[in-house]
Amino acid sequence: ELILESRLEELKECLQDQVDLDPQKLIVARASGRANLIGEHTDYNQGLVLPIAVDRDVLVAGVVQEGDQVTLHSLDFQDQVRFGLKNIVYDPAHPWANYTKGVVQVFKQKGYTLSGFVAAIHGNIPIGAGMSSSAAIEVAVATFLEETFGLKLDPREVALWCVEAENNFVGVNCGIMDQF
């Protein structure tokens, strides 16, 4: 609990350095990592899965801003990316941001109108350890967008949109287990 509060404070401090942050307007979303008890690489090979959530997660905190500019801050990579909602493109120089961009792009393709926002991302899931750090980013971002823009979405559909973002925007062949 203390660790979570500390991480939330880090996110708030990061945002306060960028915008005039009204704590009442701050939206925070969280998605956990997972482990598959029967091994990896089974879902997209049409095999069985037995996933469990783990005590590692990704947090996304942010606020709406006027216009169509999105600003993302990664506390993990000490990096910042800006992009416009009208022209979202894959950026090999900032791979961590492509997962967020992909989710935003899919929301737009599904017909949802989004405005600009500023968000900070912090995760403690080991990257590349088979614990779904990328899926956790996608799901946390999708949850953030849903809450920020007052959308009422079917969680199953949103999970499939996150898979679509990872497959089609990021270019990673993943199945549906991680996002569910």
Residue 49 lies in a domain: yes
Q: What is the pLDDT of residues 73-89, one digit of tens each?
A: 999 999 999 999 999 99
What is the count of structural domains for the chain?
A: 1
pLDDT value, residue 179: 74
Q: What is the pLDDT of residues 33-68, one digit of tens each?
A: 988 787 666 666 676 777 788 899 999 999 999 999
pLDDT > 90 in the chain, percent: 68
Mean per-residue pLDDT of the chain:
90
**For residue 8, is it left (φ>0), alpha (ψ between -120 and 50) or beta?**
alpha
| 142 contacts 103 by C-beta, under 8 angstroms | yes
Residue 34 lies in a domain: yes
When mean pLDDT is compared across 12-21, 80-89, 110-119, the lowest value belongs to 12-21
Residue 14 lies in a domain: yes
| 144 contacts 119 by C-beta, under 8 angstroms | yes
pLDDT value, residue 43: 63
Domain extent for 72: 2-170
Give me the catalytic one of 22, 43, 55, 178. 178
**What's the half-sphere exposure (Cβ side, CA atoms, 13 Å) at 101?**
24
The position carrying tokens 């549906």 is 176
pLDDT value, residue 40: 66
Residue 176 lies in a domain: no
pLDDT value, residue 44: 66
pLDDT value, residue 42: 63
Q: What is the pLDDT of residues 124-145, one digit of tens each?
A: 998 888 778 899 999 999 999 9
Residue 177 lies in a domain: no
Inform me whether the pLDDT recorded for 168 exceeds 90: yes
Residue 139 lies in a domain: yes
Does residue 178 have an active-site annotation? yes
Inform me whether the pLDDT recorded for 154 exceeds 90: yes
Decide which of 6 and 37 is more confident: 6
Residue 161 lies in a domain: yes
Inform me whether the pLDDT recorded for 177 exceeds 80: no
One-letter amino acid at 79 equals D
Q: What is the CATH number of the domain that holds 145?
A: 3.30.230.10
Residue 175 lies in a domain: no
